[in-house]
């Protein structure tokens, strides 16, 4: 009986495994909706996304990203220039304004896994380290969503972005 009761209690948490279930606090920052997009076998790059809210009076910056599943990581901006979707590393990092929030999402800001050592598999948690100028290094996980998933912030450019990512980072 006790086991059955525990199972019943646990079930809602198990099924609440959505991307918003997990929240990370670091200094004045709160990280939510932490997710990554699954990659097909052989893909060299992948994208990670989240919302970062700054409750403090000082701006902070996401300056570095690393993960054991990739050789390197970069903080990227994606936008349309002259009708072409391009992306580039943010040399000074990504600013999180004081009392503001920034959402990393497909088609916009993202963290980029470069030279993946293994595919990102949907349903798994991908370990990452995010380094902020003020809040310091934050170790957490991204919940991997299916290939092409638009994620919690929407977007319909899933497959296009995957193609661009591969082109952008293949020598």
Binding region for Cu ion (CB under 5 A): 76, 87, 112
- CB 165 to Cu ion: min, Å: 6
Neighbours of 23 (CB within 10 A): 13
- CB 89 to Cu ion: min, Å: 8
- CB 100 to Cu ion: min, Å: 23
Q: Give the nearer residue to Cu ion in terms of CB position, either 104 or 112.
A: 112
Contact 148, 37 (CB under 8 A): yes
Contact 40, 121 (CB under 8 A): no
- CB 79 to Cu ion: min, Å: 11
Neighbours of 154 (CB within 10 A): 9
Q: Give the nearer residue to Cu ion in terms of CB position, either 36 or 112.
A: 112
Q: Give the nearer residue to Cu ion in terms of CB position, either 31 or 87.
A: 87
> Which of 74, 79, 83 has the alpha carbon at shortest distance from 47?
74
Q: Give the nearer residue to Cu ion in terms of CB position, either 78 or 96.
A: 78
Query: What's the maximum distance between 2 C-alpha atoms anywhere in the chain?
Result: 65
Q: Give the nearer residue to Cu ion in terms of CB position, either 76 or 143.
A: 76
> Which of 78, 147, 86 has the alpha carbon at shortest distance from 107?
78
**Length, in residues, of the chain:** 171
- CB 129 to Cu ion: min, Å: 18
């Amino acid at each position: 009986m006790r086991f059955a009761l525990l199972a019943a209690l646990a079930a809602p948490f198990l099924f609440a495994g959505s991307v918003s279930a997990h929240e990370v606090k670091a200094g004045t920052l709160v990280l939510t909706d932490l997710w990554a997009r699954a990659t097909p076998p052989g893909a060299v790059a992948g994208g990670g996304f989240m919302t970062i809210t700054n409750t403090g009076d000082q701006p902070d910056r996401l300056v570095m990203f690393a993960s054991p599943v990739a050789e390197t990581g970069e903080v990227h901006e994606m936008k349309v220039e002259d009708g072409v979707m391009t992306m580039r590393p943010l040399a000074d990092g990504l600013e999180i304004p004081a009392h503001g929030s920034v959402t990393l999402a497909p088609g916009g800001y993202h963290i980029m896994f470069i030279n993946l050592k293994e595919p990102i598999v949907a349903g798994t948690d991908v370990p990452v380290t995010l380094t902020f100028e003020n809040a310091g290094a934050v170790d957490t996980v991204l919940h991997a969503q299916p290939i092409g998933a638009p994620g919690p912030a929407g977007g319909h450019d899933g497959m296009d972005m995957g193609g661009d990512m591969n082109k952008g980072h293949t020598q």
